[in-house]
Amino acid sequence: MKLLAFVPIKLTLLFIIGILLGHYFPFNSYFALVLTLVCFIGLGFIFQFEQHTKSVWFGILASLTTIALGAFIIIKAQPQQRNNHYSKLTIDQESVWHLKITEVLKPTTFSERYIAEVKSVDGSFATGKLLINKFLEDSLTKVSVDDELYTINQPNNIKPPLNPHQFSYKAYLKKLGIHHQMGLSPNSYHKSENPSSTLFGIAANARNHIIEKLKASNFGEDELGVIQALLLGQRSDISKETYDNYKNAGAVHILALSGLHIGILLLVLRFLLRPMERLPEGKKISLLLTVLLLWGFAYLAGLSASIVRACTMFSFVAYALYLNRPSNTFNILALSMFFILLFINPNLLFQVGFQMSYAAVLAIVWIYPLLQKLWFPKWKPVRYIWQLFSVSVAAQLGVLPISLFYFHQFPGLFFISNLLIIPVLGFILGTGILVIFLALIDQLPYPLAWGFNELITYMNATVAWVAKREDFIFKHISFDGIQLLLTYFLIAALGLLLSQVNFRRTAFFLVSVLCLQAYTMYLAYTSSQKSEVLLLHQTKNTIILDRNGPDVKVHTLDSLAAQNPIKAIKIGERFSSINYDGVGNSYVVQGKPLLILDSLGINPKNNKKPIVLLTHSPKINLDRFISATSPIQIIADGSNYTSYIRRWKATCVKHNIPFHYTGEKGFYVFDGAD
């Protein structure tokens, strides 16, 4: 099947190219608008006077128009492009912010977190989104979706990661259109008594009401957390141990209410509504009811971004199934993606959930039939297991490169967990919806609640059993963006080869394998040739990473605590092994002496113009020390008191000496060592 022969697929790919161009090479939004309008006018002119759409110029201009539209949409979708964005207003320390809570996030150890829309600043209309951190000492004041807050607290920048290759929460929030955060302490804000209601707020209130009803039905704590995730998209109450079990077993997608659940629900609804298709116009009525029930479930789940995306995608899939033309499935999927990116949010293209949902569905639609052609067992039980295995393999092939790129691990027993859970997931979802309905009307019988609780207990125990086979969990896999693209080329070549074996496709597959192998070997070689010394940031600890080709040594006082930042660097830089050692008082870096002053404050003598590292808050007179040694650079890591940092920084400014604090500027790089 030649996918690029379908117009919707070509338009969607061109639209995505435009979004990528606008995202990575942003330009003025007015220029993007003018360019798009000019392309549309030229397209209309050719269509009017050429009298047909098969001319070369029409195709070229249609492609340019679609690309220009994608670039304009992504540029216009950036909040800071709007004239009334809060960042473009004149704001002082006494400005009053009017905020509306739009989403409740999972709390951290120190604070409750929310996403809020800016309604106004000092009474002037404003737009934009902020990350709100409400400190836990203010836990008596409950904040929910649709609540409106007034505060004079001012937003702050979101810090980037302080160590190399660490997850960047700042970059993640930027993709959501959030560029600043605001802290709220007790008595620093007040809630509006009569906030306006929105559809999202009503949905959130309905979900909270359902959760309270379920809590009154005596479900187990772990079971209730999983039920909330499966049916309501609420994962904040799942214990870390349970979540890690699902992740290590390759079943974490079961807890993320998105494409898998909506796809299964779609199949269940089609099965239940199939008798209706015998009626006049029964197929249309069945389609309408299916879509309405899908969106009803989305509303029940709180209309989160992932569920809205999944329901939009599978509404188009339902229409494709209604047409009963298998070749149209690719068209419909492409149209659903085009619709979501154009009318909902083009920034979704850069979100992991969006990428994995479409990668999995496209792989199932394309690769699953190819695997079924390879073998079609005659015995029904074997055929069922083979079909489930084929679906799991196809889905895993689709998401494998994305999973390795973002999470750097692969669960080898994913098929076992899927084989044991997926067959009953439809029953779990259907029973769960019934349980919720009966709980809402206070008619949930104890046997049904007990049985459903036991079913979830069985599922959790099964996942935990699979997760304990740690030898089959491949972690800390180095995988970059180029490897991601090359792997997808390899998967595409494999799909083409499975559909038809010929010389050209075999050669394409072998070349794809060689390209991936060659690039991976190149990365391993360049990694083995690299030499550098890094000072990392970690609270209450000192970490110096000394790398000389393949030999990596970490000098630290707490090797167990140091493994957290080291793990990310090991993955990103492709270290094979690391040796740990203590921290000395002096080293030589680039031919320059590096002095380390710790809490003892011992100063090695006969050192002039050194680089100085201050650790664990040494009690020294920095003015006198500077006069005696004339340091060329003073560095302080995360093991020092912040009050000392402020004093040292002021002293360095007075003496005109560069000062680097890792808690503010991030890790420090020494280029090479002796």
Residue 456 — pLDDT band, cuts 50, 70, 90? very high
Give me the pLDDT at residue 674, please.
39
Give me the pLDDT at residue 152, please.
92
Q: What is the mean pLDDT of residues 342-351?
A: 89
Compute the distance between CA of residue 556 and CA of residue 225 in angstroms, rounded to an integer.
Answer: 39
Per residue in 605-648, pLDDT tens?
656 788 999 999 998 889 988 988 889 999 999 999 999 999 99
Q: 3-class SS at 584?
A: coil
Per residue in 537-578, pLDDT tens?
999 999 999 988 888 999 998 999 898 899 999 999 888 788
Measured from the Cβ of residue 94, the count of other Cβ atoms closer than 10 Å reads 8
Give me the pLDDT at residue 327, please.
54
Ranges 124-128, 208-212, 296-300, 585-589, most confident: 124-128
Residue identified by tokens 């150890």 is 109
Residue identified by tokens 């796809």 is 263
Residue identified by tokens 């994305």 is 402
Under 8 Å between Cβ of 312 and 335: no
Compute the distance between CA of residue 406 and CA of residue 354 in angstroms, rounded to an integer.
Answer: 13
Helix (H) or strand (E) holding 294: helix 282-300
Phi/psi at 238 (5° precision): -80, 130
Report CA 527 to chain centroid distance, whole Å.
27
Residue identified by tokens 């409740």 is 104
Region at 614 (left for phi over 0; alpha for psi -120 to 50; beta for the rest):
beta
* pTM reported for the whole predicted model: 0.85
- DSSP letters of 334-363? HHHHHHIIIII-GGGGGSHHHHHHHHHHHH
Per residue in 213-231, pLDDT tens?
888 888 888 889 888 888 8
Average pLDDT value over all residues in the chain: 86
Listed range (69-73, 453-457, 460-464, 596-600) with the worst mean pLDDT: 596-600
Compute the distance between CA of residue 363 and CA of residue 349 in angstroms, rounded to an integer.
Answer: 17
pLDDT at 5 over 70: no
Q: Give the residue extent of every domain in the chain.
A: 3-76, 86-196, 208-361+412-474, 481-528, 531-670
Give me the pLDDT at residue 604, please.
62
Q: What is the mean pLDDT of residues 301-323?
A: 79
Q: For the domain 86-196, what is the CATH code?
A: 2.40.50
Give me the pLDDT at residue 178, please.
92
Give me the pLDDT at residue 140, please.
64
Compute the distance between CA of residue 344 and CA of residue 336 in angstroms, rounded to an integer.
Answer: 11
Give me the pLDDT at residue 672, please.
46
Give me the pLDDT at residue 603, please.
66
Q: Is the dihedral of CA 496, 353, 170, 408 positive or negative?
A: negative
Give me the pLDDT at residue 325, please.
62
Which amino acid, 410? F
Compute the distance between CA of residue 354 and CA of residue 349 in angstroms, rounded to an integer.
Answer: 6
Give me the pLDDT at residue 602, please.
67
Q: What is the mean pLDDT of residues 417-439?
A: 83
Give me the pLDDT at residue 239, please.
85
Range 76-79, long-range pairs (CB < 8 A, 24+ positions)? 76/29, 76/32, 76/33, 77/177, 77/345, 77/346, 77/347, 78/26, 78/177, 79/127, 79/128, 79/129, 79/177, 79/179
- DSSP letters of 502-530? -HHHHHHHHHHHHHHHHHHHHHHHHHHT-
Per residue in 358-385, pLDDT tens?
888 888 888 888 888 888 888 888 888 8
**∠ Cα 660 666 672 (to 5°):** 75
Give me the pLDDT at residue 46, please.
77
Ranges 116-125, 219-228, 336-345, 665-674, most confident: 116-125
Q: Is the dihedral of CA 45, 47, 49, 53 positive or negative?
A: positive
Structure tokens at 103: 């989403």
Q: What is the mean pLDDT of residues 436-443?
A: 87
Share of the chain above pLDDT 70, in %: 95
Per residue in 79-111, pLDDT tens?
877 788 998 888 888 889 999 999 888 888 888
> When comparing pLDDT for 2 and 268, which is higher?
268
Q: 3-class SS at 591?
A: coil
